[in-house]
Chain A
Amino acid sequence: MKLLKIDHVGIVVRDLQEALATYERNFGLKADPSRGGEVPALGIRNAFVPVGESDLEFIQPTTDQGPVAEFARERGEGQFLLSLAVDDLQAAVQHLRALGYRVSDPNNGIAFVSPRATHGVNLQLVQRG
């Protein structure tokens, strides 16, 4: 498994537009308008804010179901996940499963490692391009 970089840090927020406005106005960090939007399959809307070679991903739950909504209910706003870019997602998933870790099936270039395999940290693997 070849890890390329930390792709992004996921942050759950109550109001996506308000969070984006705060980070742009106060910290000078501006969302990339070409990425993000509604993701009904995950029950979220999101936006990506480039910072150097990585991004901050702001995530607002749009339903009451799923891990993002659960996080928001239990903890409010906060850092939700760490996403690592790999060169070959299928190979990475196979490698981790061979080691005995639970990993979701890749979907749209993304796979999630079970928090049970990470001492509780939400870890995502992503293949870009």
Chain B
Amino acid sequence: MSIGATHIDHVVIRSSDAAATAAHFSRLLDAPIRRRMTRPGTGAHLEFMKFGEIILEFAGPPQPAEGEPRAELAGFVLCVRDIHAAVRRLRELGYSVGDPKPAVQPGAAIATVRSGTHGVPFAIMQYGVYPTPTPREGEQR
């Protein structure tokens, strides 16, 4: 039985200095940074690039650590058709899964699968769960 995964929505790179690592990857890969933001609640600094259908998310502390930036792959997020059904299914299988909550992506809900993923921090996500505000002119999503 499936959780209804449609694609990888984003891959996370955790860095001691997310802005520096994102800028470095932008130069390295000749690709633009599409969005920058502070995560509500934690204050984490986030920057985003996009390749095909997948977002590359750079996540770091509110204030960059001193010294040379150090980064590592830190998980991925699968898009599912129905996040509530997927969470129910995974809980039936014995997985510890968080309740769906608003993601930083507008209108999206996200739930973290806490174990049983062969070492990969893993979350599931569904767009269009919550109402989204109308983007202001010139605002990038």
Minimum Cβ distance to chain B for residue A61 (Å): 14
Q: Quick check: which of B20-28, B40-48, B104-112 contacts chain A, the rest being far away? A: B20-28
Cβ of B33 within 8 Å of any chain A Cβ, yes or no, is no
Contact A51 B25 (CB under 8 A): no
- CB contact list, B51-90 vs A, under 8 A: 51-54, 56, 68-76, 78-79, 90
| Residue interface bits A75-116, CB-to-B below 8 A is 1, else 0 | 111111110100000000001100101000000000001000
When the two chains form their complex, are residues B52 and A80 in contact, meaning their CB atoms are under 8 A apart? no
Chain A, interface residues (CB within 8 Å), range: 35 or more
Nearest CB of chain B from residue A47's CB, rounded to whole Å: 12
Contacts of A56 in B (CB 8 A): 8
In contact, A22 and B118 (Cβ under 8 angstroms): yes
How far is B119's CA from A76's CA once the two chains are assembled, in angstroms? 8
Pairwise interchain contact A121-B56, C-beta atoms closer than 8 A: no
- Identify which of A13, A51, A84, A119 contacts B71 (C-beta below 8 A): A119
CB contacts between A and B, total, < 8 Å: 117
Once the chains bind, are B118 and A11 in contact (CB under 8 Å)?
yes
**Whole-angstrom distance between the alpha carbons of A40 and B93 in the complex?**
36
Q: Is B134 an interface residue (CB 8 A)?
A: no
Residues 1-33 of B at the A interface (beta carbon under 8 Å): 1-8, 11, 13, 15, 20-21, 24-25, 27-31
Q: Which residues 1-28 in A have Cβ within 8 Å of B in the complex?
A: 1, 3-6, 9, 11-13, 19, 22-23, 26-28
Kindly state whether residue A117 has any CB partner on chain B within 8 Å: yes
B51 touches A6 (CB 8 A): yes
Given A3-B51, A11-B119, A122-B73; A28-B7 close (CB under 8 Å): no
Q: List 30 contacting pairs A-B, 8 Å CB cutoff, sorted by A.
A: A1-B30, A3-B29, A3-B31, A4-B51, A5-B52, A9-B8, A12-B119, A23-B118, A27-B78, A28-B1, A29-B5, A52-B6, A52-B7, A52-B8, A53-B52, A54-B53, A77-B120, A79-B76, A79-B121, A81-B73, A84-B29, A84-B51, A96-B28, A99-B28, A113-B28, A118-B25, A119-B21, A119-B69, A120-B70, A121-B72
